[in-house]
Structure 1
Amino acid sequence: MQGMIISNPKLEFLRPVLERWFDCIDRFNAVRGDNDTPYWYDENANLGLLSAAAWMAEMVTLQQTSTRKQTEEGERNAHADLFIASSEERAYLQATQRWPRVNSLNLTQALADITSDAKRISYASDLKLGCLFVAPQKAQQSATPEELQDMVDDLQKEHSCAVAWYFPYAYRKLRNEAGNYHPGIAVLLKEARG
């Protein structure tokens, strides 16, 4: 089960990146085997995959890139978790990750917080995005197809500018060392204005 919705036209240039993000997850799983998956890790690991996907989509990226921010007191140094650019468009991302329960995503505040953080990473004229990776988990047993569909429905209800999700069939029953099942990952992107 995979998909994406881009509701803000400014983010449409990221469509090929998100498509290749799915491929990067598959490639990691193919190389590492059935006992590991990249979305168990933190936002830095997942930003690395997103960065690799951008390069595959003929774009360029820099992680932990320095930026400048205009403030009332003048300019100051800032930094973005990921800079991504095509020859025509660019964006600065500030990222975080959450591992909510499958039946209780509750992402509204986390998305608002990371989007607020993204306001501080560059000039007002730049496209700045809050980036929230979501790796749902469930204890004791894997998520049912109905639970997965409910999660996808919940993801689509968040007020984001773009959302992509990937719940690979082969990894839905994969369990980490703590005994929690993580059926996949989603990423929500929201424009930070100001």
Structure 2
Amino acid sequence: MATSRALALALEREQPDLVICGRNSTDAETGQVGPEIAEILGVPQITAVSKLDLDPEAGTISATRLTDEGYQELECSLPVLVTITDGAAEEIYPRREQMQEAASRPVQQVTAADLTEDLSQFGLDGSPTWVDEIFSLESTRLGTVVRDLPPDESVAQLMEFLEDGGAGDGAH
């Protein structure tokens, strides 16, 4: 929430027509920052966009959105915030000259104090949630796959595997 507030306040100063966010972050993967920014700014949002076409003349975007059931085609007037999925656009790698040019351009730094006098909106004070711990899980599953067998042989192989593992003996 604190991150969303800071970004929304910075964006509010710029009044963009289109805000593009990633689908989710790599730390907690909650996917909440983009939608929270949209809510704070009071603009529509389209999440999980896999394809995006901007029509500046009409002041609209057309988007293909990934859903649990497949895809959804949407059109929305600007301003709008979208969250983008992997593969939504072709990756472009800058040339050395472009990187040097970018490095020579000034970067405007904006602090929380530049955005508001109420600094309690940011950091731990402004966040109702926090990441307690980040860790990787090692899979302990055997990963046995039964395929290319007639159904009765597949079932027999599965039952043997379960019985060998103690399934059904009350131990697990």
Greater fraction of residues in strand: 1
Q: Which has the higher helix share?
A: 1
What is the TM-score with the length of structure 1 in the denominator? Answer: 0.24
TM-score (norm: length of structure 2): 0.26
